[in-house]
Structure 1
């Protein structure tokens, strides 16, 4: 049957092609020309063109031609003349001027071509229809909005466009009608031919109007330009700006309302879609009104989000609604026909028995049709439910894609940071003519390959989504193929002391596979294994031939963190990231791997029990493959992966604890080993560098108490906020300056960093010189504080000292005051009273004040002795013992050493 239809179609097509005159005009086509007047740089005009094209695309019979005059009346006249010569079915005109274009419009109208005028009016009645918004009403809406929110004595400035176009004149008229009703509101006007002249005129108007409450502009672009001028004078928050157009998008009026730049905008529909519909009606000889108005509405902060979302969804929803309405309309017509038939049969059933029998048959038929209608209605309901479910899935998918692109954008920043910093470092080293570039070049190369792999994943993902992936398989020795990929990760396994093995029960097994795609599968699975397997763990690959199933199983097993059981079914979904996964990643690697296995007609499954196990099953032979997919091995091009793991392992805790008294110590907390080693290498010449991958950061900080901390935000266990907050709340580490490094550059992250107590916030990719200078600045400020407090013992009320440091030093002073006359009160006693070790006490006091604890205690006793020498009549010996000195001679020696004057001379000279 299908073959007969195919032959019939060929015969009919051949007959049509033979009988067609190639020079005749296609009578089924509707040719519509649109003469646009304003440049494509105008967003509103661009939106008009777009909606026309969109509406025309829904009608295959429409042939739409758009000509742009680019603000040139003569050129627009020439465009319309050409449309008349081509005998188009309808012409749509958006006039640039109202008078000069009239003759050519009248010419087209008199030749019987329907002419539709959109937006601006023309000074002639010889056109078919006008389509546009009531601009007088637009002006009234703006006036009513200002009146509704203003005070009785408000000042309003109207910015008009050139006065010879109808929208500007009518908007100003409508606005004036409302303003004239309220004499208490003072209104002034200025006219701006373009944005450049607007700047000067509005600037002068602002200077002459120190109290200006509202600005009503001809369109959103003028309103936003006026806002910029007001911003330069610091008055943008004191004036409410109202514009017209209400375009959606990042640069449109709705977004400006959402951003707070405009108080409101009035929707001014482009009418592009309506103009096409109107043209079709005119071509089809349908009755059309001479004047067609487009609806408008005020958009302010209350409805801006709603309007924006509605504009985004309206295109998709309109198509679905049209389809459903057509189905419903068709069913209604069927129902009405059957209903009328039933009444007719009932009427004739009284007259004749034959008709009575026919009526019985009709009832049965109607019931059958009713059942069909019910089934049809049920199908419509099911379709509606499916559409709703699809919309929800689409929403979830879009959110996932947004999160994916956000995550992968942040992932791009770390390799970019390393590449840019290496280039900067190499540049400096070339200038000094003394350099060792191998390590920097390795980092640049490896990170360039990381970016290339990320981009390739994106391209592969797009090909899979669009089903444009072509698989090319060739006969491959699976053991040699797997062994080669196994070797690429051996160095990483050796560095991290991971037991890494590969075994097989058949080294001669040959499988038909696409080496490029299977290479990516191996790489993704092994990368995940190494990413989530701790140092000293185990990773194994097993290749086993299954004779019963005529297949081979490739198993990748590790002893890593595993996958939560409730998430195993979602692991192959695109953009999915496990709840226990704190590593950076795009979330598409496993999805791509499964897609590549599916292309091989194979299967992949995952198990997770004390680690993770991925099992790939591939069929042997070629029966399951398309013959076109099989190629010779000589046709194969291998996309080899350069080794990714190329970084020194993190130093152990004992190395981190080494101190260097000649240099400041800096603790770098970063889970990206490559970036950690790079920053450490660049700072090691100036600082004693300590390193942490984030798992033991707080322990190292408490043990070593570095001079400054450099901390990443995204870390495997605690994030940078938590680590910073923990250290700032601890009395032993609260004084340490902390710099947060992150790929996130939004305001919320910056605020969270400040709330956590961070001293500085730098975004990736960062400039290495800026980082070094920031570290020096923080250490310099800390040194100034040390100098001040060392020379002002007891004066801790200044605001520059942290609250925890104040409490700590106040507590020490209270203990010293309590034991001031106890000469045996030692550093160990003070540490015991504070419940910390002697070493921790020494490091804390040294870090805050720059002196040792013993020196601090001695200085405190000397300050008290000075006070007693000034305010009491006690002799030198009594003062010495009351301040905790073991003898008067030791007191006199210490006092003179500190102040270069003996206690006796100090009292005599007071």
Structure 2
């Protein structure tokens, strides 16, 4: 027993040693960052980027010192980093020369220094990271030269003197301008990077030289100040302004370009996250370049919104990452605290039990050991539960990432729709047929189809992961099917002189396959074969029947093959062979294997003098479930043919008469993609009066105009399409309006959710224009049938009827109110609208849309029906009836009565 206690004490001491050892291993990499200042958004973004990168690296301890644009303080900050013996120093210099000595001191002390944004004098630093400021100056000059159409006179606004970016940008700018004699830098304003420093000198220059065409400022703040100065002189529309930085902030470069204040801005990346990554490479003694240049581009009106959206999405993702990091840290702290507590409690419990057992009979020792085993087992169970909880957290995080990329893939379908529709229209344009331009347009179309196929592949991968695919097999002649798919590649084979053959002894051989899924398998295998087979090579497909009731389909090429030791990994997702230097997603072969497995088949790879993929499928259909088979073969899933759709519709339009504006139905398009809105408006304006909304005011605009039909996207700014549809269908004022959902989300769940929200039609992108037009026409035709029903049954609408519940409730309630107030001569349309809870205009449009007549005529019809009842009762004369029902005179009443019933009130009364 004494030995047992001794072993327990030794185990406890060992556990304490292990905890202390873990704490020692937790030493962090100290990185000191000397920031020049944080007075502008560019510096703030740099700080934000480096902090986010540090938050992703728990081994890093980041310290940021702000010099507040004071060179003396920056030197003191670096001195302190040297004294604190940090592992790496990152410096963003205020000025080049004053910091040279202290940087050299750090190098001598054995602390590497990474200089970012601005350089110091000499080369005595570890590495430099930043944009090529000389190239930025050149880019600005080239942009001006390529876009100039005026005088060619230019004013340059430089940064602070002594600043390396200001000197280098001027140097690069002047190099290009001096090469073109037509252009001349008329004047140079020496600013200090802030806007106020340029206003006075620039105003004096512009008063003397009002015919300046371009002003190039070394940052966006000075460019904005230059624009404001020009505006005071009325020159802001005559002069074009170019800035540098391209920040996605309030009054940043991107916002100024979108607001047409700046003609363009040159992206000057902060490099915050790259700086920390490079610092860690330096700390780990990895091989790095002395000068590390960040890429830059020109942002103008053509790409400003795209880049802004990309930056917004990056910011959103960074916010999500920060939130997840915070949650993980909290979980780690809680776990560590609970783990230590369990250890301490376990130790004391063991001591108490050991002392108790020591004082009783030896037989109880067996019981003590049993209890110890139970406690150990419980600890294992608790730890297993904790591991499962952590696995669930990781799974949720992974699902969120997959949802993000799947949503992003859906978003790609909208621009692809526009590209393909316009390109296909160009292909059918008689003006470019037979010209060299047609080949370029077809190349664009080919690559658009390829991009769409890649996006669909990514979505198929997600469906495979979630096991959402259902086989739809049909009896298919495999030779004809194979030959049909091969036609897509024969042009490529002829162009590259590749011997492309199909061999099959039994051309009538039939197999049960899902044509859509097997088409994707064929395309993946043939795309790989053509990708890795050199010109003048050979690709062969062979179909062979076996004695064991199977069929082998072989795809053999004379390409580079795959290393033998990597063959087992080929069908793994995201695998890429070591000898593959082509662009590849790494999921095509994985999807192909999964699709073949759905057919209860197999796929294998042989690689000797090229690659050979062999698919083995069973004959007949006994291996398939009844739910996996269909009676008729379906067409191969292809991209909708927008060419033929467009031509058909244009032909129909030419054959019909032009519709006047007053006869057109009104159409509301709710879509935040400007290009798609432009496309739909151009294609539909001939037949409809088209109104648009980006989604932010969709419900309000629908209530205002009460359109005849609505086309709505799902992914919008404020509310999604489901919410908008539900809101419109629940509101009495708009419940009658047919809604078409037009979206990139084509999965079953999204379609079902759309129909549950009350939409009348669900179309997916890329869409067929003729199908869209036919859908609109069909829904409007059904609305006309509904109107005919109400017009002919206006006084016999039953609440319990199953036809148009919302509209029936509205008509029933409206008729009850009119009937109740029919003898009130002061009862008006405004009173009716107030009782129904709608405006007068909305009531007019709603009634007009449902029954085809205006509300005043409808009220008169109800009054005349009441008049007929009063005439039957014979208790009142015609004048009394007319005035009691609110008619202005008996003569007007008689005229209205005769128009409705064909006889005068007097004749009607006599006939009774």
Q: Which category of TM-score, normalised to the shorter sequence, fits these structures? A: 0.3 to 0.5
Per the normalisation by structure 2, the TM-score is 0.40
With the length of structure 1 as denominator, give the TM-score of the two structures. Answer: 0.40
Which of structures 1 and 2 has the bigger CA Rg? 1
